[in-house]
Amino acid sequence: MTEAQQVPETAQAPLPTGPALPTPEGRGQTLLRRIATGTPMVSLLSVVLAIVIGGILMAVTNPKVATAMGYFLARPSDAITEIFRPYAALVQGSIYNWQGADLAAQLYPLAETLTVSTPLIFAGLGVALAFRAGLFNIGAQGQLIFGALFGAYVGFTWHLPIGLHLLVVILAGIVGGGIWGGIVGFLKARTGAHEVIVTIMFNYVASFLLLFLLTTPAFQRKGSTNPISPFLDQNALFPELLGPQFRLHAGFILAILVTWGVWWIVNRSTVGFEFRAVGANPNAARTAGVNVGRATVLVMALAGALAGLSGIAQVSGTEKYLSAGVAASIGFDAITVALLGRSTPWGTFFAGLLFGAFRAGGVAMQAVTQTPIDIVLVIQSLIVLFIAAPPLVRAVFGLNPRKPKSKATKRSAQSGAAA
């Protein structure tokens, strides 16, 4: 984009070594890294701020609040109750239902939150892992679809014994997502194709491929021409953890294990160290002997595999069949989840839980108080906005960043752009 970036590129061009070199980290990349690895305080305050603004939006758009405001001085409790009702419903629908008839009904919301967050955690980990290697993986959506496609096909065409079948389905999902993500890494390493563009396009390819396959007899139910696949075999499904009246399935346990696994890869393994080195500065990593191309392919394949698991959580967990909307907007929400989790595995895990709670609670909010579900999307979007603008959050809460630190980041940003 700028000359400062192009000069070193031409200087590197004569290097005859095999794979094309990834472009040096530009200003956008630096900014991205700073957003993706912000401080926990900014994440927390962003959520608080988004919830407050969401509350104000609900209050001003709710005619009942306006009516109650009309006699605010006479009986303020009405207005206050109306203002807090939607959020009360959100909590009631996501954590604990104090109006539930029995214990099962009271705990249903919590189980629902865990269920809904499972695919978000997997896909969020996929995005977060790529972030750590300096890659902006917008393609979780497509990778999820590929994982679901592979897993579902194996799930409804093969008939294997209990235990084995689920294992094979999970592996198929890992392979499906891994291939779709790996191709992106390969293109990036070989040709320098920018992963953002490639993953966005791959999302389209994946979703239209899914749409097409669902019109073919191989993927359609017998005797139906609707674009819905047959149900997966009972053996191919995650076991229910709390019985049939809850949707919570063993995929959530797998999510905890996988989060730990990603933490181990990133922080304890050699490849994880290489990923982080490439993410921090690809040129320095190369000088230090890291095979940047190999790391790029590997990290994208792993990211794709994680998103693929998210697809398995859908088809083997909650949906039990393949439809065109199997991915919902999970692949895109995953980007927010990873941002909110500052790209750390456990941060992503808890961000996934929070978004799961928003999703689960949003349903109750809509059903009980008839608040439009869009308000949940507004809150999610506001969170992203605030995370992307840490100075704004600090200004609102009157926090001043420590001066020397901000200078240091500025300097490193400049040197990053010029390097």
Partner 1 sequence: MTSLRHRLAQRSLAGVAAIGASVLVLSGCGAAPSSSGASGGASATNSNYLGCMVSDSGGFDDKSFNQSGFQGLQQAVKDLGIQEKHVQSKADTDYDPNLRSMVQAGCKLTVTVGFLLGDATKNIATANPNSHFAIIDYSDPTFPKNVKPIVYDTAQAAFLAGYLAAGVSKTGKVATFGGLNIPTVTIFMDGFADGVKYYNQKKGKNVQVLGWDKDKQDGVFVGDFKSIDKGKVLTQGFLQQGADIVLPVAGPVGAGAGSAILDAKKSGTDAKLLWVDSDGYLTAPDYKSVLLSSVQKTMATAVETVLKDDANGKFDATPYVGTLANGGVALAPYHDLDSAVPADLKSEVDQLKSDIVSGKVKVSSKSSPVSQ
Give me the least distance between CB of 334 and partner 1, in Å please: 14
Q: Of 244 and 404, which CB lies nearer to partner 1 in the complex structure?
A: 244
Look at the alpha carbons of 128, 130, 131, 132 in this order and tell me if their dihedral is positive or negative.
positive
Both tokens of residue 118? 């499972």
Pick 261 or 372: Cβ nearer partner 1: 372
Task: Give percent helix, percent strand, percent coil of the chain, each to the nearest 5.
Answer: 75, 0, 25
Nearer to partner 1, 14 or 243 (CB): 243
CB of 130 to partner 1, least distance (A): 24
Residue with Cβ nearer partner 1 (274 or 319): 319
The DSSP bridge partners found for residue 240 are 249
Interaction site with partner 1 (CB under 8 A): 69-75, 78, 93, 105, 112, 116, 208, 211, 215, 225-228, 244-245, 247, 314, 318-319, 321, 323-326, 328-330, 360, 363-364, 366-368, 370, 372-373, 377, 391, 395-396, 398, 400-401
CA distance readout (Å), 298 to 148, 178, 184, 291, 391:
21, 9, 10, 11, 35
C-beta of 68 vs 292, nearer to partner 1: 68
Q: Which amino acid, 132?
A: R
Min CB(313)–partner 1 separation in Å: 11
Min CB(215)–partner 1 separation in Å: 6
Q: What angle do CA 225, 317, 198 make, to 5 degrees?
A: 75
Smallest distance, Å, CB 394 to partner 1?
Answer: 8
| CA-to-CA dists, residue 146 to 7, 39, 169, 231, 326, angstroms | 39, 33, 12, 17, 11
Closer of 208 and 346 to partner 1 (Cβ): 208
Nearer to partner 1 among residue 130 and residue 152 (C-beta): 152
Shortest Å, Cβ 79 to partner 1: 8
Nearer residue to partner 1 within complex by CB, 189 or 363: 363
Give dist(CA 57, CA 366) in Å, integer.
15
State the nearest-atom distance from the C-beta of 195 to partner 1, in Å. 25
Question: If residue 57 lies in a helix (H) or strand (E), which one and from where to where?
Answer: helix 40-61
Which amino acid, 242? L
Q: Which residues of 270-297 are buried (b: 16+ CB within 10 A; e: fewer)?
A: ebbbbbbbbbebbbebbeeebbbbebbb
Residue 25: name the closest of 274, 272, 196, 279 by CA: 279
Closest approach of partner 1 to the CB of residue 146, in Å = 17
